């Protein structure tokens, strides 16, 4: 079954970091980009960036440059998104989503999301 499974909900204090995982199965992990998209409560979707699991190359939205890091471990077909210096504005559901290689940056497979709550 083609799917991506994300790690569980997190509660963090302001100023802390969070690392969310996304494990792929049923397809060739290195054959697709992995993106991260977040959704604040009751709000729309915000694209954060992508990682190429084959090369490890990344591209981040300018808003997140300097405080998001996307990595991967090809041995376990897992992508990671780490967000640092958390504030209450970072409370959101974080999704990983797959896109095909090449300039076709639409997302055909999504994880179920990981709720990150930032609260003191």
Partner 1 sequence: EIVLTQSPGTLSLSPGERATLSCRASQSVFSSFLAWYQQRPGQAPRLLIYGVFTRAAGIPDRFSGSGSGTDFTLTISRLEPEDFAVYYCQQYDASPFTFGPGTKVDIK
Q: Name the minimum Å distance from CB 88 to partner 1.
A: 21
Would you state the structure tokens that stand for residue 31, as one six-digit string?
A: 């054959």
Please identify, using beta-carbon distances, which residue of 62 and 75 lies nearer to partner 1.
62
Q: Name the minimum Å distance from CB 119 to partner 1.
A: 21
19 binds partner 1 (CB under 8 A): no
**Which residues, 44 to 83, sit near partner 1 by CB under 8 A?**
44-47, 59, 61-63
Binding mask 86-115 for partner 1 (x = CB under 8 A): ---------x-x-----xxxxxx-xxxx--
Q: Name the minimum Å distance from CB 33 to partner 1.
A: 11
């Amino acid at each position: 079954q083609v799917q991506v499974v994300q790690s569980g909900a997190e509660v963090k204090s302001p100023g802390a970091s969070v690392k969310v995982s996304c494990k792929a199965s049923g397809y060739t992990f290195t054959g697709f980009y992995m993106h991260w998209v977040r959704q604040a409560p009751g709000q729309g979707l915000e694209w954060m960036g992508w990682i190429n699991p084959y090369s490890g190359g990344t591209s981040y939205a300018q808003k997140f440059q300097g405080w998001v890091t996307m990595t991967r471990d090809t041995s376990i077909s897992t992508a990671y998104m780490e967000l640092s210096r958390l504030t209450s504005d970072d409370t959101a559901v974080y999704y990983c989503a797959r896109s095909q290689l090449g300039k076709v940056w639409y997302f055909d497979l999504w994880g179920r999301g990981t709720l990150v709550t930032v609260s003191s």
